Every structure is written in C-alpha cells, then in structure tokens.
Structure 1
C-alpha cells in the first residue's frame, strides 16, 4: 500500500482527524492573534509537513483546504496567516496546488500558500533549530512514522506560541520496536535509552498493555523535550476491535491543552457520566499519565475532597489546578461541585440560595472541609 492510497476514500477517522486539527487551528488562532499583535508580530503560521493531495478520492477536503477556507473567512487571518504545505510525493503536491488554486477567494490571502516537495529528515530539523519561528501550529501526519522524531517535535515547539499535532500508525511502531531494520527510526522517535527500555518491557505484555506503555512513553518523552502538556487521542479500526492510529497534541501552554481537551471531548465516540471517552486509552495504574485520563466521574468528587481538604479557592482555580493529565473537562468540575454543595460536603460563597438555580460561576469561592 502506498502513502497516497490512504487518500483513496474519506475514512471516518480521517474526517475526525481533520476536524480536530481544523477546530484547534481556529481556536488557537483566536487566542494567539491578539497576543501576537501586542508583541508587534505581523504573522502567525500553519505548517503541514506531510500534507497529502488536498482532497480524498471521494472529493471531500483534507486538512489543508479546511485550514485555508477558515482563514479566507477571517479578516485577521487573511492578513496575518502564513501557510506551508509539504509532501515528498510530487503527485500529492501537484494535486494539492490545484486544489488550493481552485478555492474561492484564495487570492484574498495576503500571503499566498507555499507548497513544497521535500523529504522530512535531519536536514529539515536543523533548519528549524536555527530559526526563531512566528507563532505556528504544526501538523505532522506521516505515512507510518518515517520522518517523525523527538528532535523534530522539539524544534517545532521551541518558539513562543508554537504547538504541534502529530498522527502516527500505532501498529507500525508496535512492530518496529522489535525490527532491527527500523531501529534507527524507533530510536529517533523515543530516544535510544527509552526505546531500549521499551523493547525489554514490552516482551511479556499483553497487546493492550503494550499499547498503553508505548503511548505513555511517547508522552513522557515529549514532556522531557519541553512539551509539558501532551494529550493523546486514539483511533480504532472500522470494526472497533483494534487500534489503528494515535493523534497526539503537544503544547507548552496549559490554555492550549484545555482548548484541545474540549475539542477532543466533542469528537469522542462515547461519554461515561458526561465524561468524554478518552478511553481510546483505557489505561491502567501502570501507566500513570494515561491512567489519570481514564478515571470515571465518580472518582472526581473523592479526589477533590481529598486533595484540597481545608482549602478555599475560586471554582475556576479548582479546575485549573486539577484537570491537567486527567480526562475531565470544565463542565465535569462544575457538575461535581454543584453535587457536593447540594450534599453539604463543601461550602460555596455566595451560597446556592443567592445564585441562579444550578449555576456556579467561575468566581464562586469553594471551601473544602478538613479531613475527618
């Protein structure tokens, strides 16, 4: 199967992936643009290093066209956005260029989209390491994993306002870790020491444990290179019985993490007790980061009462201090705190009888009792 054959049809996972990236781009840009203006920066950027042909064979749009259409509709982005789309396959770049040229009002963008035909490797990484980037959202979607490395991701998120989203074929990485022919690629993705440790750890594990351990290792490696806030999202195959790919978001900023969490929550296939399913990683206690992303809402009340016993803080502070590394979103905290208040387990200021029914503003002060 060739790389371009992935675009023969618009698979459901491809649509979800494109929606997640496009939605985050819009939300990211709306946060970044005002800050960039204050810093006297004239531009923001979107860079896709493995862009594909632009359209699937059924005619539906892939990520580059969704991004450009969004930019065309917004006055600030028409003036500020730089876009670079790259693919090593010249057939893909030719097709993408034609698709871009056919977009209505594409000429309204002050900066014409750039389409390049380069291999992604050490030479490109060295280029990124030498320059100070404008605020940029990067998307990396290789066919498999070739070209994807910790060093590449580290170079992309180094500058202010830069976030990265990457997509990878889990099964190829799972097999690649024990394939000496691709040992160098695996070492580039995990770091040699971590890759060697993984090779030993994975041998006796069941398939579900292997997956969780591999994704956990990637997330921890991202943290070590400055990607403080990684967030994974898993895709299963058409039958729903096997993992096919993982999408991982990485940022240095907790606001970006919160925004992406909400976007991924809405794209999750199921929820449990109103908690989004991030159970694309049904983790265990042996993988702490992913385990926290899989705990049900029932546990949240007990965690808050235990961790914040004797403390008082605004409702929004409870969320900000607690949610990182967990799959709970802001409305889950609001729901749990309202329930705890109705049960008399916490105190709120102003109290419920002085607020509109079932509301809990961000500024409401929450007091957690001391442990008994």
Structure 2
C-alpha cells in the first residue's frame, strides 16, 4: 500500500470508516447475545497503521475503543488485524497499546503481518469460526477473491464488507498480467464472459455490468444479500471505488441499507443515492428531474394489484435490490392513500397524524382490464 494513503484522511475515507463502524456496532449488539459460546470476532486483513498522519483514527481503533466502552463486548470480542507492510503492523500495535483501557478487554487484539492468500483461507476453513464481521480493504485487488469472501461468510452470524477498487479492476480485466487476480475475484468463467460483454459498452453501462457481475458471483456462492455503495471522484465525474456489503441474512441487509442510505451525499425525493461524492455538497443538481418516489408509487400499484398485506410484509418482500428504505415505502403508501388510490386499515383519521406503522394493512385495487 502506498505510504501516502494514510498521510491524511480524505472525506471518502471518513465516510467509509463511519459506514463500517456503524454497522459493526449494530451487528455486535444483535449477534453477541445470540452467539453460542458468547464470542464474536472482527477481522481486518488490510488494517493499515491505525491512524492517519493527521491523527484521525482508522477503523481498527474505532472498533476497539467501542468495545472497551461496551460491557456487552468487552468480554466477548476477538479482534484480528493484519497488514502485509511490517511498518504498518508495528505502528498499529503501538497505537493499540496507547488506547485507554485496552488491557480491560478479555481477548488481546491480535496483529499479524502476513500475505493475504491461500494460507489464510486454509486457516479459516479448517473449522467453523465464531460469528465474524470481516472488513477486506486492499489498496487494489491483490488478495481479494471469491474464496476469501466465502470463507468469511460460511458460518452463522458472519457478514463481510469489502473494498472494490472500480478504477483498477476496470483496467485490470483486460490486462493479461493480472488475469489471475481478476479470475480469482469474479471466477474464471464469469471473468471471461465479462471481458467479451463489456468490450463495446460505454463507460456508464460498463460500470453497471461489472458491479452486476460481482454481485451475481457473490450471490451464487451464498451471499444472498449484496449491497454496493459507490464513491465518486471529487468532481463527481467518475466512479473511484465501491464499498460492498455481503450477508446471508435479510436483517443485516436492512440495517446496512439504512446506514448507507444515511451516508449518501444526495437524495432524490428523500430516496438515497447509495453513493458519496464531495462535489454533491458544493454543486447540487436539479434532482427533481428524476422522481424515484413517484416511480415507486406506480411500481407498487402495478406489482401488488388486487392484494392486501401489511406495510412490513410489503417492504420485506419488495425492497431487496432496490434503493428504497422503509420510510420511502411509508411515504409512497401515504401519498397513494391521500390520492384515494388504495384502501388502508386503519384509515388515516384513525392513526396518529403522519404515521404509517408496520402493521397497517393496505389493499391495492385490481388491475384495470385492457379495453
């Protein structure tokens, strides 16, 4: 990893750290009380030195600081940090030792200095692992593979967040020198098909295809729920990378969706973009040209025509793979109710103003017969 990477924390790095830290906290509170032997783990295979040159803490230190303050985690959390750069791993150990109260943790943080490859995969697949949240954040793509991600997802309570360097992967797919790494990431058959498919595509469609194919590969190996979060360059003109979340459980997907939605730098009709670009804060666009909430109303009338179900049942059956949050569904249903396009039980005058609880029943009108 280039030395300059940790010299100063960028806005993108701050957002990335916030997403991982917020999900870790939510995940730990749910999983720790249910873990069979009471142990959970956080694993970071490309951990870095712990702090940026400006003093800002990176994710490993945030995770440990939170564990020290949380009685639920202090005696349960196992942490494993690795970095191939010996200077980084040594500096990380020094920074960990400086954390107030670090000795109160039951399990001492482990810091390793190993190449991320088959040896680590073999160690992890030797037996079942405790519920683990893994964060895989390589500088480029070396070490990132479907096998590695699958290893971290194979047991109960395990979720994975990984860094997908779109720029380097986009360039690497047709580079014979790094073919082995691309094949490890997508699977050789899918990588070969992708190389043929993307040849004539414009940049925007090419990006969508690449992200779609990695999502398909993750789902095929058992990562049922995949959620990408896009980072743009400072000008907002190009994608730099993605943070991709993978889980086997719908609850994890729902929680991360809320976190990523909240960290998005723009919204359209209160619908998050699931992307971050610093330019959005200084150069806002006229997003009313796109009306995703209006579109959702039409989609719901079409797809649920003639059906009666609760708000929660509708949301659970429909939101996966879409960027709408539960609050967006409630807004859309409330709008349709106001327009008289569906029946709601209890009706608006029997509910607290402005609310649309999970148990509220919605009846959609049948489709109109074509004349």
TM-score (norm 1): 0.93
Structure 1 gap segments, 5+ residues each = 282-293
Q: Does 1:306 align with 2:302?
A: yes
- TM-superposed CA distance for 1:239, in Å, is 2.2
Runs of 4+ in structure 1 deviating by more than 4 angstroms, as ranges, are none
Q: CA-atom RMSD, angstroms?
A: 1.4
- Structure 1 CA distance for aligned equivalents of residues 104 and 64 of structure 2: 11
2:341 counterpart residue number: 345
Q: In 2, are the aligned partners of 1:234 and 1:278 still within 8 Å (CA)?
A: yes
Q: Does 1:243 align with 2:242?
A: no
Aligned pair partner of 2:159 in 159, 163, 170: 163
- TM-superposed CA distance for 1:16, in Å, is 0.5
2:2 counterpart residue number: 3
Structure 2 gap segments, 5+ residues each = 278-289
Aligned pair partner of 2:248 in 252, 273, 296: 252
Q: In 1, are the aligned partners of 2:266 and 2:276 still within 8 Å (CA)?
A: no
Q: In 1, are the aligned partners of 2:46 and 2:81 still within 8 Å (CA)?
A: yes
Cα shift readout 1:256-295 (whole Å, capped 9, x = no counterpart): 00100000011100000000012579xxxxxxxxxxxx98
1:327 counterpart residue number: 323
In 2 relative to 1, CA 278–162 (structure 1 residues): closer, same or farther, beyond 3 Å?
A: same
| SS of residue paired to 1:297 | helix
1:289 counterpart residue number: none
- TM-superposed CA distance for 1:5, in Å, is 2.2
Aligned pair partner of 1:266 in 256, 262, 267: 262
- Structure 2 CA distance for aligned equivalents of residues 124 and 17 of structure 1: 25
- Structure 1 CA distance for aligned equivalents of residues 113 and 222 of structure 2: 29
- Structure 2 CA distance for aligned equivalents of residues 264 and 280 of structure 1: 9
TM-score (norm 2): 0.94
- TM-superposed CA distance for 1:154, in Å, is 0.8
Q: Does 1:56 align with 2:52?
A: yes
Q: In 1, are the aligned partners of 2:41 and 2:77 still within 8 Å (CA)?
A: yes
- TM-superposed CA distance for 1:230, in Å, is 0.4
Cα shift readout 1:20-66 (whole Å, capped 9, x = no counterpart): 00000001111112222xxx322011000100000001110101011
- TM-superposed CA distance for 1:152, in Å, is 0.7
- TM-superposed CA distance for 1:221, in Å, is 0.5
- Structure 2 CA distance for aligned equivalents of residues 325 and 168 of structure 1: 18
1:288 counterpart residue number: none
- Structure 2 CA distance for aligned equivalents of residues 344 and 338 of structure 1: 10
Higher deviation after alignment, 10-19 or 200-209: 200-209
Q: Does 1:145 align with 2:144?
A: no
In 2 relative to 1, CA 295–256 (structure 1 residues): closer, same or farther, beyond 3 Å?
A: farther
Q: Does 1:25 align with 2:24?
A: yes
